[in-house]
């Protein structure tokens, strides 16, 4: 779907230049949203916790949420486009977007889409 920059540390002068270079090199693939460098990730790993279960609201949590929302919306738009073109039916399109869909179901939907395309 695209490229998400992660471990972005805007304290470094070079970072913004590198992000701009990626935007210029991969204009259709590079996401505007990124995941920053934050102590929350290693702290969550160390405590064997989910980043949501930390004692504070980590900045990276909001960044992850923005990226996943963007991805969900992109997938939804692409499924709608495929449905409108008659490549997939409404049931298959809605099935692929059910929150909590099992991996088995997701693999079947992806396999079915791959065969149809």
Same domain, 80 and 67: yes
Q: How many domains does the chain have?
A: 2
pLDDT of residue 64: 86
* Local confidence band at 21 (pLDDT 50, 70, 90 cut-offs): very high
pLDDT of residue 25: 95
Same domain, 23 and 35: yes
Same domain, 80 and 91: no
Average pLDDT over residues 63-82: 82
Same domain, 99 and 54: no
Same domain, 61 and 107: no
What is the extent of the structural domain holding 117? 86-117
Same domain, 117 and 97: yes
- Output 87 or 54, whichever has higher pLDDT: 54
The three-state DSSP-derived secondary structure of the chain is CCECCCCECCCCHHHHHHHHHHHHHCCCCECCCCCECCCHHHHHHHCCCCHHHCCCCCHHHHHHHHHHHHHHHHHHHHHHHHHHCCCCCHHHHHHHCCCCCCHHHHHHHHHHHHHHC
pLDDT at 113 over 70: no
| Mean pLDDT, the chain, whole residue set | 78
């Amino acid at each position: 779907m695209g490229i998400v920059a992660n471990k972005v540390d805007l304290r470094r002068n070079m970072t913004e230049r590198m992000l701009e270079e990626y935007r210029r090199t991969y204009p259709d693939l590079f996401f505007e949203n990124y995941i920053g460098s934050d102590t929350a990730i290693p702290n969550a790993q160390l405590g064997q916790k989910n980043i949501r279960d930390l004692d504070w609201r980590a900045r990276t949590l909001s960044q992850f949420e923005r990226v996943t929302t963007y991805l969900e919306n992109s997938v939804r738009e692409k499924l709608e486009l495929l449905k409108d073109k008659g490549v997939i039916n409404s049931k298959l399109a809605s099935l692929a977007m059910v929150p909590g869909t099992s991996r088995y179901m997701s693999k079947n939907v992806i396999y079915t889409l791959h065969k149809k395309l």
